[in-house]
Structure 1
């Protein structure tokens, strides 16, 4: 291996793959190609030939362009730059927004069919905001180079590249981040400060209330307030919150609509797993009233503390700090039996996994609403749930991350 590294190859792009790359073949070998679009013919440089079955390559020239190709929304990530200078984090920015959503739909549909034998009709729905998919990120992480320069990583690397703009960020976050990254000799440089304190990154957070906050990675500040409709949520500035400025509102409505009211029992042991600061538990409460019973389960104690405060409007709401798998397998936690219950789960990118699925299957809730940010993990878990007697009753997908390959889905499951 290594004989082909740096080689230029001409490739016909046939499809999209999970992970933001496209698929081509060269000499019988699969090549995963960045910065291309299905239907194009491109010239690409081989960047990884370490695997026997496939290579990776970066597009350097488009020989036959797709009608869906557009000037990249972020010049720092354009193929006009050498691959080693392209900023990461906007890998679909060269594709017309509607076609981005179509490619995400294909990835989701392929995963569901291939891994779970499911073929639901699904589209990827756009969120409010600019039609070009910019101006949505309320949280940005910049990395600190040895000289204190702050910037994003080059795609698929840990090399920092300096940039002049951050078009995916909200204007307020972009301004704060670019100001933090300046090299003015007359003022303190957050990048150098981060390196001096052993941190290699800086987070810029733009809450829906108040001014943007700049934090070294791992640094804590006072709580912030995020507003979703008429409701406010308190959380740590560095804590988890949906990144798209409209995502929390969209997911609140989607989860509310995904629950079958005929199966919902307000007195059952309803659960919000991986509950964070209580966003989705509150969504359930706001739909079904102040007398419902629901418990939020979250592994981060700081988030749990905020969840207790955020869910104070419901006398039957509670929040516990626990790993979800351990919580579901421990008697006396309130999850000893879930007959009649509704369970909302929003696991990390890796999904719930077989142990959590098996535990939920054994506890027999009436319905589940699964919020997923990875199509492959979702499809795997839906197949596992089918083995425990649950079928997919509905699914929606949302473009919570425009100009990237990521897509969010909300799936409803009921017992067969």
Structure 2
């Protein structure tokens, strides 16, 4: 293996795969091709031939372009650059914005069909304002790496090579203006640039000690660490708050039940639930990061029945299951459980315990369509069905897509 790396091949790609890579065939072998669009014929340079069943390649010339091809929104990632020198992080930037959403829809629908046996007519909805600005200027947070000369840039795709840049067009104007592209940062690994809604942009250099910032979601304020997790799209916190509120079936919601917000972060979605259902709402947010849990306790303080606990969700649920009394189990069966797991999804252990606890409804917020489809299939084994699903383009010009799914018993 290795003798084909660097070779130029010519092929037509016919579909999009999970991860945003186009798929074609060459002499019967599957080839995953970056920077191509289904329907195109391209010349591509082989980058990986270690597997007998497939190769990886990067498009270097488009022979028959798709009608959806556009000039890349980021010159640092354009097809006329050597693939090893293309900036990562905007892998759909050469595709018309509406067609990006169609490709994401295809991946989500195909994942649900293949892994959960569900035929879905889900669409991917843009966030307000994005179509008018071609999906640019949405990132309120970026992380740049430092090369051996101290210059800032993203990594190249599937690489640890830093690509120095002078702009980041997916970032908001405030983030772009605050990014010190001309400076040198020798000896540092990373630089984060953050633009909170309530204060001026700030830099977080390397392993800098966290400081507390505040973010506005509608009229509600949340405190969190500047190094902590927060949705990066300027409109995502509001969009997800509303989506989760609308995903909950009010006929199945009991404010006195043992409602849970799993992988709860600083309490954004727990607050969304309590805001919709009122002051008497009982909900516990569970998060493994202790500092995030501390912030969640403050962010949820106005609701007497809301609390935050620190713990790994799988372990926390196991302990809950093992120690639950008959009365506890009744409250859990009446519960609404919101979960917003990391990209790897909740997984079999968490979904199995949730199936035993048998809550009235699950509201699953997913940033990975394959993980979501797998977990929907696991929930089906415990008697849950997918009642509704919406998808949102929280990450324009990338392959990522967010979905909010409601699972109910029966």
TM bucket normalised to smaller: over 0.9
The structure 2 residue matched to 1:203, chosen from 168, 188, 192, is 192
Give ranges in structure 2 of 5+ residues lacking alignment.
none
Give the Cα–Cα distance (whole angstroms) in 2 for the partners of residues 66 and 152 of structure 1: 27
Q: 1:94-118: per-residue Cα shift (whole Å, max 9, x none)?
A: 0000000000000000000000000
Number of aligned residue pairs: 403
Give the Cα–Cα distance (whole angstroms) in 2 for the partners of residues 129 and 219 of structure 1: 34
Change (3 A) 1:44 1:305: same
Q: So what's the TM-score if we normalise by structure 1?
A: 0.95
Give the Cα–Cα distance (whole angstroms) in 2 for the partners of residues 300 and 140 of structure 1: 21
Tell me by how many angstroms 1:162 deviates: 1.0
Tell me by how many angstroms 1:41 deviates: 0.5
The structure 2 residue matched to 1:137, chosen from 114, 139, 159, is 139
Report whether the alignment pairs 1:355 with 2:349. yes
Change (3 A) 1:91 1:258: same
Report whether the alignment pairs 1:251 with 2:253. no
Change (3 A) 1:358 1:130: closer
Structure 1 counterpart of 2:83: 83
Secondary structure of the 2:250 match is coil
Secondary structure of the 1:13 match is strand
Q: 1:12-55: per-residue Cα shift (whole Å, max 9, x none)?
A: 01100000100000011000000010111000000111111100
Q: 1:257-296: per-residue Cα shift (whole Å, max 9, x none)?
A: 0000000000000000000000000000010001110000
Q: Is the 8 A contact 1:368 1:412 kept in 2?
A: yes
Structure 1 counterpart of 2:19: 19
The structure 2 residue matched to 1:278, chosen from 241, 258, 267, is 267
Q: Is the 8 A contact 1:220 1:237 kept in 2?
A: no
Give the Cα–Cα distance (whole angstroms) in 2 for the partners of residues 309 and 103 of structure 1: 40
Give ranges in structure 1 of 5+ residues lacking alignment.
184-188
Tell me by how many angstroms 1:80 deviates: 1.3
Give the Cα–Cα distance (whole angstroms) in 2 for the partners of residues 11 and 85 of structure 1: 23
Give the Cα–Cα distance (whole angstroms) in 2 for the partners of residues 85 and 261 of structure 1: 51
Q: 1:45-95: per-residue Cα shift (whole Å, max 9, x none)?
A: 001111111000000000001000011110110001111111000000000
Secondary structure of the 1:411 match is strand
Report whether the alignment pairs 1:105 with 2:130. no
Tell me by how many angstroms 1:146 deviates: 1.6
Tell me by how many angstroms 1:155 deviates: 1.4
Report whether the alignment pairs 1:226 with 2:215. yes
Root-mean-square deviation (CA, aligned residues, Å) is: 1.2
Say which is worse superposed, 121-130 or 53-62, in terms of deviation. Answer: 121-130
Give the Cα–Cα distance (whole angstroms) in 2 for the partners of residues 374 and 97 of structure 1: 19
Secondary structure of the 1:14 match is strand
Secondary structure of the 2:215 match is strand
Structure 2 counterpart of 1:156: 158
Tell me by how many angstroms 1:389 deviates: 0.8
Report whether the alignment pairs 1:415 with 2:404. no
Q: Is the 8 A contact 2:24 2:32 kept in 1?
A: yes
Q: 1:151-205: per-residue Cα shift (whole Å, max 9, x none)?
A: 111111111111121100001111212x2x313xxxxx4x22xx2xxx5111111
Structure 2 counterpart of 1:305: 294
Q: Is the 8 A contact 1:330 1:336 kept in 2?
A: no
Q: Is the 8 A contact 2:147 2:164 kept in 1?
A: no
The structure 1 residue matched to 2:335, chosen from 341, 351, 356, is 341
Q: Is the 8 A contact 2:191 2:203 kept in 1?
A: yes
Give the Cα–Cα distance (whole angstroms) in 2 for the partners of residues 57 and 200 of structure 1: 29
Tell me by how many angstroms 1:217 deviates: 3.4
Structure 2 counterpart of 1:123: 123
Give the Cα–Cα distance (whole angstroms) in 2 for the partners of residues 251 and 146 of structure 1: 39
Q: Is the 8 A contact 1:220 1:236 kept in 2?
A: no
Give the Cα–Cα distance (whole angstroms) in 2 for the partners of residues 284 and 101 of structure 1: 28
Structure 2 counterpart of 1:387: 381
Secondary structure of the 1:235 match is strand
Give the Cα–Cα distance (whole angstroms) in 2 for the partners of residues 170 and 263 of structure 1: 40
Tell me by how many angstroms 1:336 deviates: 5.0
Give the Cα–Cα distance (whole angstroms) in 1 for the partners of residues 208 and 52 of structure 2: 43
Tell me by how many angstroms 1:121 deviates: 1.4
Give the Cα–Cα distance (whole angstroms) in 2 for the partners of residues 8 and 147 of structure 1: 32
Structure 2 counterpart of 1:186: none
Give the Cα–Cα distance (whole angstroms) in 1 for the partners of residues 311 and 232 of structure 2: 24
Q: Is the 8 A contact 1:273 1:345 kept in 2?
A: yes
Tell me by how many angstroms 1:221 deviates: 3.1
Tell me by how many angstroms 1:333 deviates: 8.0
